[in-house]
């Protein structure tokens, strides 16, 4: 069974008081059905809210429910502290969400259910920005944003569906994967998390081959198959200070958009005043570092040592040349024998 998401619970904790205010006296079962969780989860949420509130921690500073109703299995607010009112977005927040939704719609365009949910969210946000009967000129604060989202890498619907199923059901995955250096491999992995940097979807997983955590870009997954075996829960790897005997070292200068790399790869890093990031990474071997440099792609500003940068540039050129040959098709006269 998949581990419950802490983000999902936070959203539920924020929404529960407003729902109870609209349904005073509702049972735990009714609340559980509305939020798609168990009655025990709702009880746990109320217990958490009971000790939550504004700074001070005194009785008047905490969210309060009717204790008698709680003992009877019902929910009734007595001290909501403003949480009974739906959260309202500022105009800037709504526009930012719209831009993010446009990126997600492109990332998840092959997944029908996700596309429908995102379209519904977009229409709701547009309705909040542009109430019925109110005309908004282009460029006004209430007009829909016109900025173009970044280009995103396409992911096949079967791959995305398999990854989501494995995450939801807590099952193992078999991947046919091509690395940044165009090296094919077959991997069995225990999926941990699906993330995005706005241009790609990435699966963080425990790789049974490497016996370590790895990140797999979904646009490089040729095939994903859900296995019957359950995924084995594992502790997250703790970053540790590398020693000189552990492999070669590289210094990567990243654009601000490359922050995802320092969050996924153990390293030491510092941020410059212009927002760029200098990360010192020690790899298992040179091939691993080369793959990391290539995977950083457009987020990478500079690489040290210089020979690693040269090798990465050469590998990228070879990949581009091979891709151009594939798309060019056979040369004239290549089929049907030699020309007279």
User: Over the Cα atoms of the chain, what is R_g?
Assistant: 25
State the Cα–Cα distance between residues 174 and 162, nearest whole angstrom: 10
Cα dihedral 231/235/236/242 (nearest 10) = -130
Give the pLDDT of residue 252: 92
Question: What 3-state DSSP class applies to 159?
Answer: helix
Classify residue 178 as exposed, middle or buried by CB count within 10 Å of its CB (0-12, 13-18, 19+). Answer: middle
Q: How far is CA 100 from CA 217, 258, 268, in A?
A: 19, 17, 29
Give the pLDDT of residue 213: 86
Averaged in consecutive runs of 10 residues, what is the pLDDT profile of the chain (340 residues)? 64 83 89 89 85 66 82 85 66 73 70 75 75 49 46 65 87 88 86 78 87 86 90 57 62 86 82 86 83 84 90 82 67 47
pTM: 0.42
Q: Provide long-range contacts, Cβ within 8 A and 24+ apart, for 196-199.
A: 196/103, 196/104, 196/107, 197/257, 197/260, 197/299, 198/103, 198/149, 198/150, 198/152, 198/257, 199/103, 199/150, 199/151, 199/152, 199/153
Give the pLDDT of residue 329: 59
State the Cα–Cα distance between residues 338 and 340, nearest whole angstrom: 6
Give the pLDDT of residue 13: 82
Give the pLDDT of residue 144: 45
- What would the 3-class secondary structure string for 181-228 be? CCCEEEEEEEEEEEEECCCCEEEEEEECCCCEEEEEEHHHEEEEEEEE
CB distance 251 to 292 below 8 Å: no
Q: CB count, 10 Å around CB of 97?
A: 18
Q: How far is CA 65 from CA 24, 77, 84, in A?
A: 11, 4, 12
Domains of the chain, earliest start first: 6-79 (1.10.10), 91-129 (no CATH), 157-230 (2.30.30), 246-326 (3.30.70)
Retrieve residue 94's tokens.
């709504």
Give the pLDDT of residue 89: 66
Q: Which residue has the tokens 């994903």?
A: 224
Q: Chain-centre distance of CA 33, in angstroms?
A: 27
Q: Rounded to a whole number, what is the distance in angstroms from the first to the last CA of the chain?
A: 67
Kindly state the helix (H) or strand (E) to which residue 174 belongs, with its residue range: strand 171-178
Kindly state the helix (H) or strand (E) to which residue 176 belongs, with its residue range: strand 171-178
State the Cα–Cα distance between residues 85 and 17, nearest whole angstrom: 8
Give the pLDDT of residue 137: 45
Q: CB count, 10 Å around CB of 15?
A: 16
Give the pLDDT of residue 327: 62
Question: What 3-state DSSP class applies to 232?
Answer: coil
CB distance 145 to 258 below 8 Å: no
Give the pLDDT of residue 215: 87
Question: What 3-state DSSP class applies to 300?
Answer: strand
């Amino acid at each position: 069974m998949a581990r419950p998401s802490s983000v999902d619970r936070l959203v539920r904790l924020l929404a529960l008081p407003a729902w109870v205010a609209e349904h005073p006296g509702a049972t735990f079962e009714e609340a559980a059905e509305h939020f798609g969780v168990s009655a025990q989860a709702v009880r746990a949420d109320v217990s958490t809210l009971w000790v939550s509130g504004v700074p001070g921690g005194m009785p008047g500073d905490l969210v309060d429910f009717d204790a008698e109703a709680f003992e009877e299995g019902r929910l009734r607010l007595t001290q909501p502290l403003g949480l009974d009112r739906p959260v309202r977005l500022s105009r800037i927040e709504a526009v930012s969400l719209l831009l993010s939704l446009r990126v997600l719609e492109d990332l998840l365009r092959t997944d029908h259910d996700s596309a429908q949910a995102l379209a519904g969210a977009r229409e709701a946000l547009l309705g909040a920005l542009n109430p019925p009967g109110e005309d908004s000129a282009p460029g006004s604060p209430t007009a829909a944003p016109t900025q173009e989202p970044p280009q995103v890498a396409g992911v096949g619907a079967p791959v995305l569906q398999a990854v989501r199923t494995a995450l939801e059901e807590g099952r193992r995955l078999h991947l046919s994967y091509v690395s940044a250096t165009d090296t094919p491999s077959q991997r069995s992995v225990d999926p941990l998390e699906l993330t995005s940097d706005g241009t790609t979807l990435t699966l963080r997983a425990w790789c049974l081959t490497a016996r370590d955590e790895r990140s797999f870009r979904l646009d490089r997954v040729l095939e994903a198959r859900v296995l019957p075996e359950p995924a084995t829960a594992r502790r997250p790897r703790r970053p540790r200070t590398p020693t000189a005997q552990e492999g070669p070292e590289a210094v990567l200068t990243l654009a601000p958009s490359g922050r995802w790399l320092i969050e996924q790869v153990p390293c030491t890093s510092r941020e410059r005043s212009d927002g760029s990031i200098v990360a010192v990474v020690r790899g298992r071997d040179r091939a691993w570092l080369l793959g990391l440099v290539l995977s950083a792609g457009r987020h990478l500003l500079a690489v040290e040592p210089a020979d690693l940068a040269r090798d990465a540039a050469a590998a990228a050129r070879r990949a581009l040349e091979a891709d151009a040959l594939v798309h060019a098709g056979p040369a004239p006269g290549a089929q049907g024998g030699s020309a007279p």
